[in-house]
Structures are given as C-alpha cells and as structure tokens.
C-alpha cells in the first residue's frame, strides 16, 4: 500500500519562531567589572560625531578594553545609539554583556561587563577561535562564487553546523549562545547568535549586511538583511534550521530555504519590525530569492513543472517549492495529495511506496521527500 506521510512542519516552525528571546537593546545598568583594562581618549571628545564615536568604541573594544574614558561630556543617547550599532554591525565584538555610563562636565566614562565574566586574555583567545572558525568555512567554499552563491554557502554552513539552543532561551539572560562565537565555535545558538554569525561571515566576505529585530507573536526575534546585486533582501537563518521533534533525537532534518532572500511582503507575514532601529532596508525584489533562482517558484501549478524539478534533485530526492499566493498553493496541495496526482510523477522520477511532505501555509512552501 502506498503511503503519504505528512510531516508536522507547522509545529516545528512554531517552536522555532517563538523560541528566541533576543532583545538587541537590553543591557544591564550595573555590574562589577572583570579585570580593569582601560583606555582614555585624548583631547576634547565632546563634539565628536556618531561615526567618530563608533570608530573609537570599536577600536577600543577590539583591544578588549572594558573601560573607555573620554574627555568632555558625551550625550548618553549618542552612546547607547552607537552601542546598538556595535551590536548590529560588529559581531566580532561579541563579549559585551552590558555597560554603564557615567558623565560629568569634564569626562565621560563607559564601563563594559564581559559576558560570563571572561578576562581580556580569555576574550582574545576566544576572538581568535571565532576568526579561525569563520576562516574554515571560507576556505571550504568553492572558488569563483558570485555573491548570491557565497551567501547561500554561508547560510547552509551555519544551519548544518548549529543546533538551536533552547537552554539558552530558557535561561532568560544574556549568554554566549546569543553571539557569533556561540554559533560558529560552540555550534549552539539562539536567533541572535545565528544573526550575529551571519553578519560576521558577511563582513569577512565584504558583503553588506546587518541585523534587524522585531517580534514573532509574543516573542522577540532577530534576523538579517543582506545586499546582493544592488538590492536588499531579508534572510532568517534561524528559521531555516530544521528542529527535531524531540530534543533527544539527533537525526538531521531537511535544511530549508524558506526565508532565504525574501522581500518585505514575505517577511511581514510572520513578524513585526521593532521601531527606532538605525537602518531598516526596503526589500522589494525577489529576483535573487532562493526559489526564483532555483526554478522552484511556481506562478502556476503544473505536474510537468514539478516533475522537472524533482528530476533535477538527483540523489537528494527532496524538493522545496514556493507559490505566490494561497490559492495557487492550495490548488497544488489538493491536486497532489487529495486527488493522488503525486503518483503521476513516476513518469519523471522513481517513487518509493512512501512519500513525505510538509507544507508551510503562511509562506506557501511545499517540501516533498521521495
């Protein structure tokens, strides 16, 4: 008897979507510093621009200084804005758990709390580990790839090597799981860690990217944007990482590309964007969307088109198809599985007696394993 198994993708996706509690703007107000490595900026800094302050802070933090003293009074809001940019644009500075600002008429001091109390020497060693992990991914990348393929390679590499860290989510505090280090070195991360790892890799490749934050249902979430061919696209590496239905199940799921280079309309089906962010790109194109580039975006459904895509899958024997709207998506699902049209695909590929499929009714994506 032929069997079609429906994979409960919706339940998995819900766990993935709501499990991340990244809050890019939240830092503690008070702490006890671990070590006293400081730096004092010379001259009067009170009239420096935001760009100059960003350059100063990143320079000092990349030397693992946990105290920066500036001559003159620097507005607190400018400092917090700059530190938000540091978190979003400079994931190599992964070690900040929080900071305090003290200001008087003569000087402004920012003291940083290292994550998990690490010393400057430990942080330097961790920074080298992070760089080596990223270099290893780049070294394994085929030569001569265009930006689209390099982004795809990094996306897939992060997903394959990272496990979603539910323990980190449940901890209710900042931790290494929310950093590029947690993702690329430890192989365990929450959404913020996936996102910071992606920006870290893009920075090394010279591809413009950044982080964005918002809410998926009642939970905070972080994801990325990236610029390819002059257009901005959204990408959510976390949500493309398949999760086991049971935490003790080590079997690998099927890597997804549902959120690989999507536009605003697609993104906003599943989340809202936090206001007040320094930069939120307009993403209107799908020219470089994964499904469009792969020939798997079906404006209309036809058994012939699906058969051709399944034939191209080769030894992978699984395909991902995206449809433009609910009507076309529902028609395809109904014809394939309610009417049994799936078995007509034996004209294109060999089919086992068991076929598995999952459907994303929000993103209109159908995944078939055969």
Residue pLDDT tens, the chain, 370 long: 334 434 333 322 222 223 465 455 444 343 333 444 555 555 667 789 999 999 999 999 999 999 999 999 999 999 999 999 999 999 999 999 999 999 887 899 999 999 999 999 999 999 999 999 999 999 999 999 999 999 999 999 999 999 999 888 888 888 999 999 999 999 999 999 999 999 999 999 999 999 999 999 999 999 999 999 999 999 999 999 986 333 433 334 688 999 999 999 999 999 999 999 999 999 999 999 999 999 999 999 999 999 999 999 988 889 999 999 999 999 999 999 999 999 999 989 998 878 899 999 999 999 999 8
Please give the tally of structural domains in the chain. Answer: 2
Task: Confirm if 365 and 269 have CB atoms less than 8 A apart.
Answer: no
The DSSP result for 29-57, as a single string, is: S----SS--EEEE-S--TT--HHHHHHHH
Inside any domain, residue 87:
yes
Gyration radius from the chain CA atoms: 23
Has residue 187 been placed in a domain?
A: no
Residue 69 in domain: yes
| 202, part of any domain | no
DSSP class of 238? G
Residue 107 lies in a domain: yes
Count of Cβ atoms closer than 10 Å to residue 201 Cβ = 27
Residue 351 φ/ψ, nearest 5 degrees: -115, 135
| 27: region left, alpha or beta (phi > 0 left; psi from -120 to 50 alpha) | beta
Q: Which CATH number belongs to the domain containing residue 109 in this structure?
A: 3.30.110
Domain boundary residue, one of 97, 116, 135:
116
Structure tokens that stand for 211 in this block: 């982080």
User: What's the pLDDT at 316?
Assistant: 86
3-state secondary structure of 231: strand
- Domain hosting 58: range is 38-116
* Residue 242 confidence (pLDDT): 87
pLDDT of residue 314: 86
Domain end position, chosen among 99, 116, 133: 116
327 assigned to some structural domain: yes
pLDDT of residue 20: 63
SS3 102: strand
In a domain, 267, yes or no: no
Q: Would you tell me how many other CB atoms lie within 10 Å of the CB of residue 275?
A: 7
Phi, psi of 141 (to 5 degrees): -75, 130
Sheet holding 318-322, edge to edge: 3-6, 354-360, 365-369, 318-322
Contact 114, 121 (CB under 8 A): no
Smallest CA-to-CA distance from 361 within 2, 13, 1, 5 is with 13
- Give buried/exposed letters for 306-335 (b at 16+ CB in 10 A, else e): bbebbeebeeeeebbbbbeeeebbeebbeb
Q: Judge whether 242 lies within some domain.
A: no
Q: Where are the beta strands (DSSP E) in 139-184?
A: 163-164
Q: Are 155 and 235 in contact (CB under 8 A)?
A: yes
Length of the chain: 370
End residue of a domain, out of 58, 82, 116: 116
Tracing tokens 């051709």 back to the chain, one arrives at 308
């Amino acid at each position: 008897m032929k069997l079609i198994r429906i994979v409960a993708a919706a339940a998995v996706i819900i766990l993935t979507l709501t499990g991340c509690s990244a809050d890019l703007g939240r830092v503690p107000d008070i702490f006890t510093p671990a070590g006293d490595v400081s730096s004092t900026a010379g001259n009067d800094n009170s009239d420096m621009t935001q760009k100059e302050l960003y350059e100063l802070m990143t320079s000092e933090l990349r030397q693992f200084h946990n105290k920066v003293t500036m001559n003159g009074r620097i507005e607190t809001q400018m400092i917090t804005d700059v530190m938000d940019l540091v978190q979003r644009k400079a994931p190599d500075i992964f070690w900040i758990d929080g900071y305090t600002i003290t200001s008087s008429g003569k000087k402004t001091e920012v003291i940083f709390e290292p994550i998990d109390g690490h010393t400057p020497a430990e942080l330097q060693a961790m920074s080298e580990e992070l760089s080596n992990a990223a270099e290893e991914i780049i070294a394994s990348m085929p030569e001569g790839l265009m930006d689209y393929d390099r982004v795809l390679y990094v996306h897939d590499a992060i997903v394959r090597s990272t496990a979603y860290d539910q323990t980190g989510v449940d901890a209710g505090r900042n931790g290494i799981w929310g950093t590029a280090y947690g993702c690329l070195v430890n192989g365990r991360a929450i959404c913020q860690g996936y996102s910071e790892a992606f920006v870290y890799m893009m920075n090394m490749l010279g591809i413009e990217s950044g982080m964005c934050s918002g809410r998926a249902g009642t939970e905070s979430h972080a994801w990325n944007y990236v610029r390819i061919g002059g257009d901005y696209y959204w990408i959510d590496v976390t949500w493309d990482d398949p999760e086991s239905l049971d935490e003790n199940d080590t079997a690998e799921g099927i890597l997804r590309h549902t959120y690989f280079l999507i536009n605003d309309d697609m993104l906003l089906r599943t989340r809202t964007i936090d206001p007040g962010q320094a930069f939120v790109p307009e993403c209107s194109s799908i020219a470089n969307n994964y499904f469009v580039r792969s020939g798997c975006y079906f404006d209309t459904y036809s058994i012939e088109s699906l058969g051709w895509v399944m034939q191209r899958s080769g030894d992978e024997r699984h395909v991902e198809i995206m449809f433009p709207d609910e009507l076309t998506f529902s028609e395809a699902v109904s014809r394939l599985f309610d009417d049994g049209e799936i078995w007509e695909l034996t004209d294109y590929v060999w089919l086992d007696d068991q076929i598995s499929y999952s459907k994303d009714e929000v993103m209109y994506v159908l995944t078939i394993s055969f």
